[in-house]
Amino acid sequence: MQGDGRVIPAEGWVRTRRDSKGVTFLEINDGSTIKNLQVVIDQGFGGFDAVTANLTTGSSVVVTGKLIASPGQGQAVEIAAESIEILGTAPVDEFPLQKKKHSFEFLREIAHIRPRTNSFGAVARVRNAMSFAIHSFFQERGFIYVHTPIITGSDAEGAGEMFQVTTLPLEKVPLVEGRVDFGQDFFGKKASLTVSGQLEGETYACALKNIYTFGPTFRAENSNTSRHLAEFWMIEPEMAFCDITGNMDIAEDFLKYIFAYVLEKCPDDMDFFDSRISKGVIDNLRQIAGSSFKRISYTEAVDQLQKSKASFEFPVSWGIDLQSEHEKFLTEQIYRQPVIITDYPKQIKAFYMKLNDDNDTVRAMDILVPRLGEIVGGSEREADYDRLKNRIVECGLNPDDYWWYLDLRRYGSVPHSGFGLGFERLIQFVTGMQNIRDVIPYPRAVNTLEF
C-alpha cells in the first residue's frame, strides 16, 4: 500500500485508541495481518463528537479517509479520517479484551473472542498456511487425498482409547445376558470415533500407491498435559512399495517443507512469535529446514540415556516406553536437533507394525523434536498375513474385527509404510506456543467442552 492520497474505506475492529491534543489515533485491525492500520482523526472534523463516546476497544468501524504516508514510526501509511461509522459498539466495562495483557488461561475462557488478539490471530493465520502447505506438499508429489471415516467399527491403534458413538438411551441401555445389546444401536454394532484413519488409508494405498488423509481424530486418553487433546487433527500419508527408510525420508522432507513454507509465507506472524512468544524460533526452524535429522535405533537411544547418568523420574531400561522426559533429553541435551527413533520393542507398539527378524522389535519410526518430544509416529506395516494375524491375537485383539485389513495381506500384498503427524503439535513447534490448547480454535480435553 502506498500513501498516495487515495480516499479508501477501511473496515476493522478498534484495537486501541489514544487521544492527544486535538487528534485521536486509532489502531484498527481486520484480521488479515498482525499489523494494525493507524487512523488519524482530527477532533475538529465534522462527525467526531457523534462517534467519540463509542469509539472504544473492540468496536467495529468503517473509516473512510485519505491514505497518506505516515510521519510516525511503526507504519508506512495511515488513514486521515474523513468519516467514521461505528457498526457495533463494545462497552468498555463489558468487553473482556481491554488493552492490558491477558493470560492464555484467561483467554481460553473466552475462546470465542480470543481470535481478536494478536497471538490468536497469528496462530489462526499460521495454521491456515500450514494446512495449505500440507496439501501442496502431497499434491505436488502425486499423493491422492483420501477421506477416511470418522465413525468407525474398529480400533485402529488397538489401545482402547475410543469415544463411543451411540443412539441408545443411556438411562435405560438394552441388555442381553447382562451385556449392552449393541444389536439395537444405530449401526447394529458398537461404534466409535476414529483414533486414526490409517487402516482405511492403507486400503487405498494398496490400490492407488500414495495417499494421505488429513482430518480430525479422537482419543479418550485421560492425559491432562500441554501436548494432548481429545480431538486433534492428524496428517497420515500411506505409501505402497515403500519401506521404513523411504518412510523416514518422506517424513523428514515433509517437515522441512512445512517449516520453509511458513517462514516464507508468514513472515510478520513469525516475527511476532519470535519476539513475543518464543525467542529464536525463526532461526531454529531455518536451521532445521537446512539440516538432516539424526536417525538412531531405540536400543541406541536407551544406551545413550543410560550412559548420560542423568536422573529421570522414570528409570531407563530396555523395553520401557520412552517418556516425555527421555524424549526431551535426547532432543535437547544429547543431539540438540530432531531425532528419528526406529525399531522399538514390539510390546510398546501397535499390532500393525512390521516385525523385525529378531522377533523382538518392530519397524517403527517416531520423530521427536526439542521442547515437545514425539510429533510423528509411523512404521513400515506388517505385510505378511500370518505374522499380522499372530500379532493381532498377541495384542489381545480379535482378528474377526480386522478381516478386511487382513485381506490386504491376502490379495496382492506389498511392502508399505506410513506415518501420522499431529497437526497441533506441529503448530506448537512452529509457533513456539506452549500449550496445545492455544493452537486449535476450540480445544477439547478432559472436562473441557465449552463452546
Question: 438411551: which residue's cell?
Answer: 169
| The one-letter amino acid at 282 | I
Comparison of 221 and 243: residue with beta carbon closer to ligand 4AD: 221
CA distance 306 to 331: 15
CA distance 302 to 121: 41
Q: Tell me the closest approach of the beta carbon of residue 255 to Mg ion, in angstroms.
A: 16
Q: Which of Mg ion, ligand 4AD, none does 133 bind, CB closer than 5 to 8 A by kind? A: none
Q: Tell me the closest approach of the beta carbon of residue 231 to ligand 4AD, in angstroms.
A: 8
Comparison of 26 and 239: residue with beta carbon closer to ligand 4AD: 239
Whether the CB-CB separation of 182 and 189 falls below 8 Å is answered with yes
Residues that bind ligand 4AD (CB under 6 A): 156-157, 196, 198, 219, 221, 228-229, 232, 234, 236, 374-378, 418-420, 422, 424-425
To which H or E segment does residue 85 belong? strand 77-88
| Residue 350: count of CB within 10 angstroms of its CB | 20
Comparison of 157 and 252: residue with beta carbon closer to ligand 4AD: 157
Q: Tell me the closest approach of the beta carbon of residue 197 to ligand 4AD, in angstroms.
A: 7
Q: Which of Mg ion, ligand 4AD, none does 234 bind, CB closer than 5 to 8 A by kind? A: ligand 4AD
330: which DSSP letter? I
Comparison of 14 and 436: residue with beta carbon closer to ligand 4AD: 436
Q: Tell me the closest approach of the beta carbon of residue 441 to ligand 4AD, in angstroms.
A: 15
Category of 89 on φ-ψ map: left (φ > 0), alpha (ψ -120 to 50) or beta: beta
Q: Tell me the closest approach of the beta carbon of residue 374 to Mg ion, in angstroms.
A: 6
Q: Which of ligand 4AD, Mg ion, none does 114 bind, CB closer than 5 to 8 A by kind? A: none
Question: 538412531: which residue's cell?
Answer: 296
- Between the alpha carbon of residue 200 and those of residues 206, 215, 220, 295, the distances in Å are 10, 13, 20, 29
Which cell numbers hold the place of 280?
529464536
Residues that bind Mg ion (CB under 5 A): 377
Q: Which of Mg ion, ligand 4AD, none does 236 bind, CB closer than 5 to 8 A by kind? A: ligand 4AD
Beta bridge partners of 24: 19, 41
Comparison of 15 and 228: residue with beta carbon closer to ligand 4AD: 228
